[in-house]
Each structure stands twice: as structure tokens, then as C-alpha cells.
Chain A
Amino acid sequence: MATPSIKISETPLVLHVLRRADDALILGHRLSEWCGHAPMLEEDMALTNMALDLIGQARELYSYAARIEGKDNDEDKLAYLRDERQYRNLLLVEQPNGDFARTIVRQFFYSVFADLYWRAMMRSGDATLAAIAAKSEKESAYHVRHSSEWIVRLGDGTEESHARAQAAIEYLWAFTGEMFEVGDDERGLIDAGIAVDAGKLRAQWLKIVSGIAAEATLTLPSNDWMQKGGRAGRHSEHLGHLLSELQMLQRSFPGATW
């Protein structure tokens, strides 16, 4: 016997909050896979710290999504009882950890975006979202700092680290465009001053990312073809495996309390 997936009333606001929550949970989950296996104990600590921040953000966002949805869902039902087509995270954050360079580049691309996003969201007309943003921005600012420092060390470190960092950038670049995508369902929220227009963050993101890449002697691809789909629930093959692990106990013990 298995616990079936829940149904969600996907109003624009619920969907909007779930997208943020899913990004945070899936990236936090990926980072948590490093715990005990990092290149040095200090990185076990740091990657775990970022995982804890992100999963913490996800919990607040899921709880808020459940509250506005107004059914009897909660943070755990939203995280553990939706299937991959119901997940709305960016393709970027579900990409496997790969080597340390790929994990750091993924973190860097996302954190620079998230930090801009949360900073803008602090002015949201929705008081709960503004409060979550204020707390999350402090965390993402640290994630930007930590990942940027590593980008520079890897890019300007050894020949091998440079090659690995450059390869990671090439691999992940096509997943960055999705961060700036705005769904039709989000327009109303943006006009009402509740949601942030992610499209407007792109120029600033590119400026920050280019600056750090230059310092790291790394090159950003000129290819601007972008892979999309995550926001609409069309994921890469990796997400299903991640969810089957994440959801294993909730799916196999219907109704149990843990």
C-alpha cells in the first residue's frame, strides 16, 4: 500500500509560493547529500549550513502555502505527497551534485538570483512573504559570499580546478534562464505588488555573475539558448529519483506520524 499524492488548489498565490518553496527544498536536499562526504570538514559544515537554511525557508513557505490554500495540507504533505509533475522548482536546483565545482557553480547561480529576489520581495504587499524574504535574504547573502569565494578559488586555483569550474559553468548555464521566467499566472500578483518580477532581475544578476567570473578568470558561455520546464512541472529525469528517496517513508506508511 502506498500513500497517494494530494490534490492542490493551485491559485496563483499558492502556486507562486510553492515555486519558491520547491526551489529551496530541492536545493537544500541536494546540498544535504554532501554531509559527511565533502572535500574538507569545514565544507561539511558550510554545505550543511546552507542546506539547513534552505530547508528552513522551504518549511516556512510550505506552511504559508498550506495556510492560504486553506485545506488540511501542511508542510509535510506538500513536500512528501506531491509527485514530480506537481513540483515547480527550477531545473537548475534539481541537477545532481556532480563534483564540488558543479555544486558550487549551481549554488552561486541560484544564490545570486535568490538574494536579488528576496531583497525585492522584502517590499511585497504580502506581509508574510515580506517577512520570509527578510529572513531568507540574510541567509542568501551568506550563500552568495560563500559560493563566490569558492568560484574565485577554483577558477584562479590550479589548472584542474579551473577546468572543472569552467566545465560546471558550461553544463549549468542553460538552466539559468528559467530563473527569470514569469508565468502568466504571476502577472496579476506582480501588478498587485505581491510578487517580484523576476525578469527584471536578469541584468543585475548577469552583472554580478560576470564580475565574479572575471575575477575567477572564468568565461560565461555566449550561448543563450535556455532549457525550461521546471516551473510548469516538466522536469529533468533527476527529480523523480530525488523524490523517491525524499518521500520514501511517507509514501510507504500511509497515515503514520513520525
Chain B
Amino acid sequence: MYTQALNTSDGEDRGVEDAAQAARFQARIDAEERIEPNDWMPAAYRKTLLRQISQHAHSEVVGMLPEGNWITRAPTLRRKVALLAKIQDECGHGLYLYSAAETLGSSREEMVDALLAGKAKYSSIFNYPTLTWADIGTIGWLVDGAAIMNQIPLCRCSYGPYARAMIRVCKEESFHQRQGYEIMLTLCRGSAEQKAMAQDALDRWWWPVLMMFGPPDQVSQHSDTSTKWKIKRFSNDELRQKFVDATVPQAQFLGLTVPDPGMKQDAEGHWRYSEIDWDEFKQVLAGNGPCNRDRMAARRKAHDDGAWVREAAAAYAEKRQARQHAQAAE
């Protein structure tokens, strides 16, 4: 669902490469050309992208879990089908993104192993629990909404396979966002109990969603090289502000209150939010969010329980190939 600005780029690893090649590479980037898998690229560019794309892929896959928590309890058959299809889309996003990352020279298996070993990150937002049906609406509305803000600029990312994956992904994310908002609208037009459910979900998700854009610009370490390489086109704070400005009127239309009593609209029309609790963000990234342990346990369980299935598929493919060879030799 989402890519988060979590890492520093690896600008410091550069320096040994041929300066002329590096200059040609940068000239191509400056000319808005797309870099393709077989093109020369600085090692640090490759490493930065590999980390970002694989984190994004992990986020799509781990992101299936909080919403998956409501598949069996969706309140109508239409909602059940829509939720299942949405989660299936997220799985599809994970698959395209792993493929995009593989073009940079790492296998899906290696990337998944890194996730399961706790060495790779995924978006902090998926470490929060889905407690009521309104959380499903809120995730679509806000989490997919924030993902779109982040990912639309990535459709112009300098790395071709990532940019192309993002174009396809963004179309689906905006459908998810509308679907989530429609769940919220239905709840807000429903009974007092349903409206309270919607408000409670917004209260719990608002701040974690703002954290999805990553640390504030003054402490974010990675933007320089990522910007120069046109992987990142807007700063964390710029994207966060865009998101808030787009979302506040949507909350007002729903008749919901953004849980930030200090929020004010400035003279230019921007909604200025209060200080974000960055300690909470750090804790969640460090593994101490409300669901970090459950999410990792669920992914490890799926992986471990599925090992014999993957082994069987591989063993069968091998046997079949051996039989075909034997037949051909006859």
C-alpha cells in the first residue's frame, strides 16, 4: 500500500565509480530520461532503490493483515467482496513491486527472508490494530489516501520499472480510497452508534497516518541524494501538508472532527496541524507498536506453514522435467 521515507540513501558509498559514467548518468536523470535495469547506474542508486522498493513491497503484503482481520466479519456481501478484492489488489501490488525490485538484482526470496528476519522495514501504519468496521473505511480513506499522495510523484521516478509499477498501483489505490470514503459516508449517515464508530476510528488513525509521510524535513537525512536522483520529488513535510489540506474538507463533509484541537487554517488556506508525537513513531519503527509482534508472527507463520507446499511444488517441477528429459532421450 505504501512506501515510507525510512532510510538514508547510500550516497556515501559512491566515489569509486568512474566519474564520467556518473556524470552521464546524472545528465540522463536531469533530462528526465528513465533508467532501465540494464543501464549503468551508481551502486548507491541501486541500493537506495532496492531498499525503497522492497520496503514498499513488504508494506503491501503486511498491509493485507490489518484489513484481512475484517474479511470474515464484513457486514454485507457487497462489502465482503469489495474488501477481499481490495486486499487482493494489495497482494498484486506486492507482487509487481517484488518484480520491480528483482530487476535490481535481488530475489524475492532474499527480500522476504530479510523481512522475516526483522532486517527490512515496512510502513509503520500497519502496526496499528483494526478494532471496528469503521477502521476498514478509515484505512481506505486515509491510508490509501496518504499512499496516493506519496506514490503519484513516484510515477515519475527516474527508475523505469518502479515508475511503471506505480502508475498501475496508483489507479487501484485511488479506487480503494473512494471505496473507503464511501464506507465512512455510509457510517456517518447511519445511526448515532455508527457515526461514533467512524469518529473513534478517525481519532485512532489520524496521527499514525500523518506519520506515514516520514520524519519532518529538518531531521530527514535522505532527501538530498534521492531528490538529485529524482526518486523523491517532494519533501516529507510537503506531502504531509498536501494530504492534510486534501483531507480536512473530506472530514468536514463527513461531519467528523479531526482530533487536533490546535489545527487552524492559515491565510493561504493551508490547514496547519499541531506537533506530531515523533516518539510514538520511533517506538513503532523500533518494533514497539501495538501490532508489530502480531504482524511479524503472522507473516512468519504463513511462510513456515507454507514451506512444505513450496517444497512440494519445486520437487514436482523437478520430477516432471526429469521425466520429460527421459522421454526425449528415448
Contact = CB atoms under 8 A, between A and B. Distances in A.
A35 B64 contact: yes
A161 B308 contact: yes
B91 A249 contact: no
Contacts of A62: 77
Interface in B69-103: 71-81, 84-85, 87-88, 91-92, 94-95, 98
Given A29-B72, A59-B77, A36 B312 contact: no
B56 to A, nearest CB: 14
Contacts of A142: none
B263 interface: no
A157 B302 contact: no
A12 B131 CA distance: 42
A89 B133 CA distance: 27
Contacts of A35: 64, 68, 71, 84, 87-88, 91
Interface residues of B, number: 47
A41 B118 CA distance: 19
Given A153-B312, A157-B313, A36 B87 contact: yes
B39 interface: no
B91 A32 contact: no
A206 to B, nearest CB: 24
A38 B306 contact: yes
Interface string B308-319: 111111011001
B79 A39 contact: no
A184 interface: no
B110 interface: no
Contacts of B305: 37, 39, 99-100
A71 B205 CA distance: 41
A161 B315 CA distance: 10
A158 B80 CA distance: 36
Interface in A34-74: 35-45, 48-49, 51-52, 55-56, 58-59, 62
Contact of B309 (A32, A40, A51, A80): A40
Given A256-B191, A257-B186, A37 B81 contact: no
Nearest to A258: B75
B88 A45 contact: yes
A257 B91 CA distance: 29
Contact of B84 (A52, A152, A242, A258): A52
A45 B191 contact: no
B309 A100 contact: yes
B167 interface: no
A38 B64 CA distance: 12
B190 interface: yes
Contacts of B190: 256-258
A239 B71 CA distance: 17
B65 interface: yes
Given A35-B64, A246-B72, A253-B191, A258 B313 contact: no
A186 interface: no
A56 B82 CA distance: 11
A55 B77 contact: yes
B90 to A, nearest CB: 9
Contacts of B75: 80, 249-250, 256, 258
A258 B308 contact: no
B213 to A, nearest CB: 25
Interface string B159-203: 000000000000000000000000100110011011000000000
B301 interface: yes
A245 B91 contact: no
A40 B306 contact: yes
A41 B77 contact: no
A253 B191 CA distance: 9
Contacts of B315: 157-158, 161
A130 interface: no
Given A43-B309, A45-B88, A52-B84, 10 more contacts: A35-B87, A39-B306, A39-B310, A48-B85, A52-B85, A79-B77, A157-B311, A249-B74, A258-B133, A258-B186
6 contacts: A35-B64, A39-B302, A55-B80, A250-B75, A257-B186, A258-B75
Interface of B: 61, 64-65, 68, 71-81, 84-85, 87-88, 91-92, 94-95, 98, 133, 183, 186-187, 190-191, 193-194, 298, 301-302, 305-313, 315-316, 319
- Top 9 closest pairs, chain A to chain B, by CB: A39-B306, A157-B312, A161-B312, A258-B75, A39-B309, A36-B68, A249-B75, A36-B64, A153-B316
